[in-house]
Amino acid sequence: MGIASVDSVWSVKYGERVVKKSAVFHDYGQYGLPDGDLDMDYNFWLIRSADDVLLMDTGYDIAARDWLGEISVLPTPDGLKLVGVDPLDVKMVVASHFHYDHIGYLGLFEHAEVVAGQREYDYWFGKRDAHTLDGEFTTEQNLVAVEKAKNDGRLRLISEETEVYPGITVYQVGGHCPGETIAKIETKGGPLILASDAAHFYEQLEHGWPFFAFTDLDEMRKALQFIGELAEKAGATVIPGHDARTRQRFPAVPGEPGSVATVLA
């Protein structure tokens, strides 16, 4: 019997902004390279397997709060309609971490099992309970949907390599956040690794450059090394979480204007 695989994986873009390399890569000046712009996309990922629909991350309501100057492209509810998904039909949401732009719409998915890192839960709810969330990339309101999933019995916290669905294995790698989680997805065309914010841009995968935002710099470097080793061992293609160049490397969903939805596998 072969390895279980999913039918398709899509990236759905909901926002964008332009950033400077010196602003997003930690201590960029040490590399002795000129500064320049990078197009930064904000995405969630859709996975289809037989009759099941799963997501990795959810996006957030850009119009409701300006965090870093993001520009709305297609709000998550509209993006779901574009790809023919009813939020109430989503079976599982893998929350890579609890930053605002990754769980902001988690409350839409009232029937979904929510998978996240144990360390992620402990860290952010510890800060919530200690009233120390000010200045973080998460608010108490962002955590409400996580807590509801827990109270409903829909929250699954992982601490080690875990196959959470046939063909989908998650790993808690830390670095950007304590419980930052990536997913390896078996597809008919070969495995994919959805890195989310463990690697925002291709430069991080190619050169090991840390992102500017981290809870543990050494863990972030180890996470990038782990992703590279996992990809080599599995023969997997790695998808960075925010790099607009992904849309140049993979085709748009047929009939969808503007490359908002991209087919990764």
Contacts of 219 (CB under 8 A, 6+ apart): 173, 174, 175, 178
244 occurs within a structural domain: yes
Kind of pairing between the strands at 168-172 and 155-158: unpaired
pLDDT one-digit tens code per residue, 97-144: 999 999 999 999 999 999 999 999 999 999 999 999 999 999 999 999
Looking at residue 253, its pLDDT comes to 85
pLDDT one-digit tens code per residue, 211-262: 999 999 999 999 999 999 999 999 999 999 999 999 999 998 887 666 799 9
170 occurs within a structural domain: yes
Looking at residue 254, its pLDDT comes to 81
Q: Residue 78: name the closest of 201, 248, 258 by CA.
A: 258
239 occurs within a structural domain: yes
DSSP state of 251: P
User: Which comes out higher in pLDDT, residue 84 or 2?
Assistant: 84
Q: Residue 193: name the closest of 260, 98, 264 by CA.
A: 264
Looking at residue 66, its pLDDT comes to 84
Looking at residue 255, its pLDDT comes to 73
List the end-to-end C-alpha distance of the chain, in Å, as a whole number: 21
Structural domain count of the chain: 1
Compute the distance between CA of residue 45 and CA of residue 15 in angstroms, rounded to an integer.
13
Model confidence at 37: pLDDT above 70: yes
Looking at residue 78, its pLDDT comes to 95
3 occurs within a structural domain: no
pLDDT one-digit tens code per residue, 55-70: 999 999 999 988 999 9
Q: For the whole model, what pTM was predicted?
A: 0.96
103 occurs within a structural domain: yes
CATH code for the domain in which residue 96 is found? 3.60.15.10
198 occurs within a structural domain: yes
Structural domain span for residue 242:
8-263
Looking at residue 258, its pLDDT comes to 63
pLDDT one-digit tens code per residue, 146-166: 999 999 999 999 999 999 999
Compute the distance between CA of residue 69 and CA of residue 18 in angstroms, rounded to an integer.
9
2 occurs within a structural domain: no
Compute the distance between CA of residue 67 and CA of residue 156 in angstroms, rounded to an integer.
28
Q: Are 172 and 181 in contact (CB under 8 A)?
A: yes
241 occurs within a structural domain: yes
Model confidence at 1: pLDDT above 60: no
Looking at residue 2, its pLDDT comes to 64
